[in-house]
Structure 1
């Protein structure tokens, strides 16, 4: 059977889909983050950075709340927490309000690491959107925030299933 649509047309359709573009931009962001951490000789992944940053802003939250803050499911975040705990970057403590529950807090090592990483991540942000003007970057971020807020419940559906 002969192809009726040239491959370039098929690629164009895929390449203009929001999901494809967002996934590719995420790949770029992860690659740049990984490269930046490697150059600084720091052993930290994007999700580990997100978890530590969220704990810095919300110390003492439980794992489920942390998962909500960083947008990951509880199972995935559980593994991230285990790795961060093994690296002595966070600790689990008994929740004084509910002895069965555990609160998460960053350690001094975690806080020191974040003090090194925050400026690197801040400097990295414009590079993720290379090719856009400052005004275009601001507008893209505004639109991504709007779309994310509008779809927030969808990301929670998979967690509850």
Structure 2
């Protein structure tokens, strides 16, 4: 019998990095579920909140710019915007220089709902991040930004 066959190949879940990665992914899913439940009384979904946050911070951006900022395809934005418009949270205005471009803005009602949602969101963030020290929180944020930057081209 070949000796190489006698030595069992290590399995991924025996690697601490794999275990930590799985823990991080599970935590992300748990936070997403908790945020979805917390936003439900406001009749908002996470994707809608992400769009509203970006429109508040960068009013007047185009659909293309919003899709790029949210790291989603334009088709995702095309499906999302009518929902926000129907709820009276978003308005579109034609660009004065290029009539092919629509500029996106939150309505007054949209800004009001966003502020309510941000209270819910920040309460959840505080609850979750109170599990770590400020230094651990900063270290985790630095790591997530490095991962994002490293995988940006993928």
Do these two structures clear the TM 0.5 threshold for a shared fold by scoring above it? yes
Structure 1 residues 75 and 144 mapped into 2: Cα distance closer, same or farther (>3 Å)?
same
Matched, 1:16 2:19: yes
Runs of 4+ in 1 over 4 A off after TM superposition: 9-15
1:74 corresponds in structure 2 to 74
* 1:106-145 equivalences in 2 (<5 Å): 106-129=106-129, 131-145=131-145
Q: What is the TM-score when the length of structure 1 is the normalising length?
A: 0.78
Task: State whether residues 92 and 105 of structure 1, in contact with CA within 8 Å, keep that contact through their aligned partners in structure 2.
Answer: yes
SS in 1 for 2:88: coil
Count of aligned pairs between the two proteins: 146
Task: State whether residues 32 and 128 of structure 1, in contact with CA within 8 Å, keep that contact through their aligned partners in structure 2.
Answer: no
Bigger radius of gyration among the two? 2
Task: State whether residues 28 and 128 of structure 1, in contact with CA within 8 Å, keep that contact through their aligned partners in structure 2.
Answer: no
RMSD: 2.4
Ranges in structure 1 where 5+ consecutive residues have no aligned partner? 155-161
2:38 corresponds in structure 1 to 36
2:4 corresponds in structure 1 to none
